[in-house]
Amino acid sequence: MHSRSAPGDRRGRGEAGGPYSDRALTILCVSKLTDVPKRILIGRALRSDKLGETLLPKRIALPVFASDPLSSVAYAPGEVLLVLSVAGVSAYHFSPWIALAVVVLMFTVVASYRQNVHAYPSGGGDYEVANTNLGPKAGLTVASALLVDYVLTVAVSIASGIENLGSAIPFIVEHKVLCAVAVIVLLTLLNLRGMKESGKLFAIPTYVFVAGVFVMIAWGAFRGIVLGDTMKAPTADYTIKAEHQGLAGFAMVFLLLRAFSSGCAALTGVEAISNGVPAFRKPKSKNAATTLALMGGLAVTMFCGIIALAMSTHVRMAEKPGEDLLHNGTPLGSGYVQNPVISQVAEAVFGHGSFLFVVLAAATALVLFLAANTAYNGFPLLGSILAQDRYLPRQLHTRGDRLAFSNGIVLLAGAAVLLVVIYGADSTRLIQLYIVGVFVSFTLSQTGMVRHWNRHLATERDPAKRRHMVRSRAINAFGAFFTGLVLVVVLATKFTHGAWVALLGMVIFYGTMTAIRKHYDRVAAEIAAPDEPSDDSLRPSRVHSIVLVSKVHRPTLRALAYAKLMRSDQLEALSISVDPVETKALKEEWERRGINVPLKILDSPYREITRPIIEYVRSLRRESPRDAISVFIPEYVVGHWYEHLLHNQSALRLKGRLLFTPGVMVTSVPYQLESSEAAKKRARRRADWNAPGAVRRGPVSRPKEPSNKS
C-alpha cells in the first residue's frame, strides 16, 4: 500500500527515538516556517513555573481590568444628556439627581463585588456566585450574558474609538471597518503576549486619561469657584428643539428611568475584576478588592465631575443634532458633527487647541480602544472556568505559550470582528445591544449573594459576624433591586432598537454550552471504567492479524516480520486484486520467496480497495465476536511535502473506516525513505528552538552524537 498515514499517526524516528508520520512531518515543516514570525509577534514561550511572574500588581491590574468602566465616563454623561434632551433643556436640571442615583448604584455594586472577590476568589465571579447559590441554570444564564457583553465591549469600544479618530483623520472614516478590524487584531496580538506585558503598555494612556480628567475637574472648579470665570461649551449658545414638550407624570418618570439606565453605562466592566482575581498577585482577594474600590472611587469622581462641569458650561446634546440643535432658531443641519460631552467640557475649561486639551483628547481616544482590554482579560478567564466545568471546549482551559488563555483571546477577537463587520463599525447601532448582558449578570449575581448570606446566617451564631452578614445582605439586596430595575428599563426601551440581538446571543451561548456539557457528560458516562468486568477489560479469545500487501517489497517484508513478533493466534496477508497481471505477479513472487504466511486475495471488480477490506474484517468479527482483529499497514515515510502528492490516500481512508469498527486495532509499520532524513535534520534543528508547546512537553533529552575522533 503506497499511502500516507492518518493525521496524528507517528512514524519514523527523531532524535529521541519518537516516531514521526509524514503528515506530522508536513506540519513540522509548516510550523517551522511560522515559528519565527510567531516568536516576533508574541514572544518566546514561557515555562509553566513562570506563571507567578505574569501575575499583576495593583498598579497594572487597574488599567488591565478597569479600563472599561474608567473610559465609560467619556460617553456615559453624554448618554444621560441625550435622553433628557427629548424633553428639552429644561429637563437637564434632573441630571445631577440622575448622576447621584448612578453614584449610589456604583458604590452599591462595588461594595457587593468586594464581597464577591473575598467569598469567591477562584475567578468565577458572577458565574460562580449564581451557579453556587441559584443553581446551574442561573449560572449558565449569567455566563451567557457575560460572554455576550464581553464581545460587545470590544466591538463598541473599538467602533467608538475609530469614530473619535475619524473626526480628525478622514481615511479612518472612509475605511472604518477595516481600521476597526486592524485595531482588534493589534489588541489580540498584545494580549497573546500576556496580561502583564499588555497591562504595562495600556497603563500609560489609561493613567494619562485619568490624570487629564482630574486636572480638568480641578482646574474647572478653581476657575469657576475661586476665579469666578465664565466657562462656555461650544454648544452653550444653542437651544434644543424638544421632541416632547411638557412631559409630566408617568412619561417623565419613564424618561428619567431611561436616562438613568443610559447613565449606568458607567458600570460596564465592573464585574471584570471579580472574574480576574486569579490574575492578581498574592494576597489575591485583598489586592482585587483594593483595586475594585480604587476603580469605583475614580469612576464616580470622574463621572460626577464631568456632569457638574457640563451643567456649569451649558453643554447641549441632542439625539439628532442636525435637526434638534438650533442656533438663533435655525437647525444646524446634517453637516454638523456633535462632539462628546468630555470634549466640549475640555474645550471650555482648557481652551480649544491648548496643550492640555489635545493631550486629553488623544488620551480619550486611546482609552476607548483600551477599554476593550477589559473584555480581553475577562472573557478568556471566564471561558477557562466554563471549560473546566465542561460547558465549553476544553481547549479554552489551556494556557498558551505566554501563559495566557490564548484560545479564549482568539475566540473573543473572532466574535468581535464578526460584529464589527456586520454592523459596519457603527457605535450608534452597536450600543443599542450594549449593557443588557451586564445587568443580567449584576442582578442574578447580587440575588445569589443574598442567598449566600441567608445560607450562612442560618448557621452562624457569632453576633459580630451576623451583624456583618446582615449588613452585607442589605447591600446586595439593594444592588439586586437597582440593577433589576435598570434591566427592566433597558429591555423596555432598547429591545426593538437592537437589544433583542444581545438576548438572542445569550440564548445561542446558553444552548451551545448546554449541548457541550451534555456531550461531555455522555462521553464520560460511556468511557467510565465499570465496577464489574466488561468486554473491554477481558482478554480476547484470539488475535487474528492481517498484513495488508500491495506487492512484495521492503515495507511489506518489514510489516510481516513485525506482525510475527506479536505472536498472533492467526496471521495472514491480505491483498486486493484490481489488476489481474499485478495479482499474478504478486502470487508468483510470494511463492518464489517461500514466505510462510498465507496470502489471501480478494477480488474487487469495481477496483475498490477500502470496501473489500472493511467487509472482510467485519465478516471475521461476525464469525468470532470475541476475537480481536489486528490490521498492519506498511507505509512509506517521506521528508518533503510535495512527495505526499505522489502517493495515494487509500491507507488514510482505510484507517478512517476501521476506527469505527469495534474490536479492530490498526498498526502503521513505517518504512523510511532516504528523503525522510531531511525531515529528521529539520526536527534536529527544531529541537534547539523553543517551539510552541515546549512548556507542556517538558525538557527532551537528546542522545550524544557519536564522535568520529580516534
- Percent of the chain scored above 90 by pLDDT? 6
Do 22-31+538-694 and 48-459+466-520 agree at the fold level?
no
Q: Which amino acid is at 605?
A: P
Q: What is the pTM of this model?
A: 0.67
Which three three-digit cell numbers place residue 263? 447613565
What is the average pLDDT value for the chain, to the nearest integer?
76
Residues 505-548: pLDDT tens digits? 899 999 999 988 888 888 777 666 555 655 555 566 788 899 99
Q: Which fold has domain 22-31+538-694?
A: Rossmann fold (3.40.50)
Residues 394-417: pLDDT tens digits? 777 766 554 567 788 888 989 989
Res 53: pLDDT = 46
Q: Give the three-class secondary structure for 246.
A: coil
What is the greatest pairwise CA distance in the chain?
A: 113
Q: Give the three-class secondary structure for 325.
A: strand
Where do the domains of the chain lie? 22-31+538-694, 48-459+466-520
Lowest mean pLDDT among 200-209, 413-422, 475-484, 571-580: 200-209
Smallest CA-to-CA distance from 313 within 418, 253, 238 is with 238
Cα distances from 709 to residues 705, 706, in angstroms, run 12, 9
Residue 650 binned pLDDT confidence (cut-offs 50, 70, 90): low
Residue 200 CB contacts under 8 Å (≥ 6 apart), including other chains: 60
Which three three-digit cell numbers place residue 555? 515495507
Residue 321 scores a pLDDT above 60: yes
| Helix runs in 333-391, H state only | 341-350, 355-370, 372-388
Q: Could you tell me if 601 and 550 are in contact, meaning their C-beta atoms sit under 8 angstroms apart?
A: no
Cα distances from 556 to residues 22, 467, 531, in angstroms, run 18, 81, 42
Smallest CA-to-CA distance from 369 within 259, 590, 577, 204 is with 204
Res 573: pLDDT = 94
Res 700: pLDDT = 44
Residue 217 scores a pLDDT above 50: yes
d(CA 66, CA 3): 56
Residues 263-290: pLDDT tens digits? 877 777 777 777 667 778 788 888 888 8
What class, spelled out in words, does domain 48-459+466-520 have in CATH?
mainly alpha
Which three three-digit cell numbers place residue 133? 447559590
Residue 41 scores a pLDDT above 90: no
Q: Which amino acid is at 65?
A: F
Q: Is 663 left (phi over 0), alpha (psi -120 to 50) or beta?
A: left
Lowest mean pLDDT among 210-214, 216-220, 703-707: 703-707
Lowest mean pLDDT among 192-201, 253-262, 516-525: 192-201
Q: Which amino acid is at 123?
A: G
Average pLDDT over residues 319-328: 78
Residue 160 CB contacts under 8 Å (≥ 6 apart), including other chains: 75, 368, 427, 431
Residue 474 scores a pLDDT above 80: yes
Q: Scanning the structure block, which residue is given the C-alpha cell 456604583? A: 106
d(CA 55, CA 597): 63
d(CA 475, CA 266): 19
Residue 85 scores a pLDDT above 70: yes
Q: Give the three-class secondary structure for 631.
A: strand
